[in-house]
Amino acid sequence: MLLALALLLGWLARNTLANMAARGIQAGWDFLGDAAGFEIGESPIAFDGAQSYARAFLVGVLNTLRVALAGIALATLLGGAIGIARLSRNALVSGLAGAYVEVVRNVPLLVQLLLWYLLLVEYLPDPGEPLHLGPWLLLSKGGLSLPWPAEGGWSLPQPGPFAVEGGATLTPEFVALCGGLSLYTAAFIAEVVRGGVLAVPRGQTEAALSIGLSRAQVLRRVVLPQALRVIVPPLASQYLNLTKNSSLAVAIGYPDVVSIANTALNQTGRALECISLIMAVYLCTSLLTAALMGALDRRAALRER
Inside any domain, residue 17 = no
- Check residues 101 and 302 and name the one with the higher pLDDT: 101
Q: How confident is the model at residue 296 (pLDDT cuts 50, 70, 90)?
A: confident
Residue 89 confidence (pLDDT) above 90: no
Average pLDDT, the chain: 85
Q: What does the alpha-carbon distance between residue 209 and residue 216 come to, in Å, rounded to a whole number?
A: 10
Give the structural domain span for 78.
49-304
Q: How many domains does the chain have?
A: 1
- The amino acid that residue 271 corresponds to is A
Residue 101 confidence (pLDDT) above 80: yes
What is the share, in percent, of the chain residues with pLDDT greater than 90? 37
Inside any domain, residue 5 = no
Q: Kindly report the pTM of this predicted structure.
A: 0.85
Inside any domain, residue 246 = yes
Burial class of residue 12, CB neighbours in 10 A (0-12, 13-18, 19+): exposed
Which residues, other chains included, contact 240 with Cβ-Cβ below 8 Å and sequence gap of 6+? 286, 289, 290
Q: Can you tell me whether residue 181 is helix, strand or coil?
A: helix
Residue 302 confidence (pLDDT) above 60: no
Inside any domain, residue 73 = yes
pLDDT score for 24: 59
Inside any domain, residue 244 = yes
Backbone angles phi, psi at 62, to 5 degrees: -65, -40
Q: How confident is the model at residue 16 (pLDDT cuts 50, 70, 90)?
A: low
Is 213 within 8 Å of 221 (Cβ atoms)?
Answer: yes
Q: How confident is the model at residue 245 (pLDDT cuts 50, 70, 90)?
A: very high
Is 290 within 8 Å of 236 (Cβ atoms)?
Answer: yes
Q: How confident is the model at residue 184 (pLDDT cuts 50, 70, 90)?
A: very high
* Structure confidence by residue, pLDDT tens digits, 192-237: 999 888 888 877 777 777 777 777 777 777 777 787 888 888 898 9
Inside any domain, residue 31 = no
Inside any domain, residue 221 = yes
pLDDT score for 238: 93
Domain CATH number, residue 291: 1.10.3720.10
Inside any domain, residue 19 = no
pLDDT score for 124: 87
Residue 32: closest CA among 235, 199, 270, 290: 270
Average pLDDT of 93-98? Answer: 93
Q: What does the alpha-carbon distance between residue 247 and residue 155 come to, in Å, rounded to a whole number?
A: 32
* Structure confidence by residue, pLDDT tens digits, 116-162: 999 988 888 888 888 888 778 888 888 888 888 877 788 888 888 87
Q: Can you tell me whether residue 21 is helix, strand or coil?
A: helix
Q: What does the alpha-carbon distance between residue 34 and residue 168 come to, in Å, rounded to a whole number?
A: 32
Residue 297 confidence (pLDDT) above 80: no
CA 271 to chain centre: 26
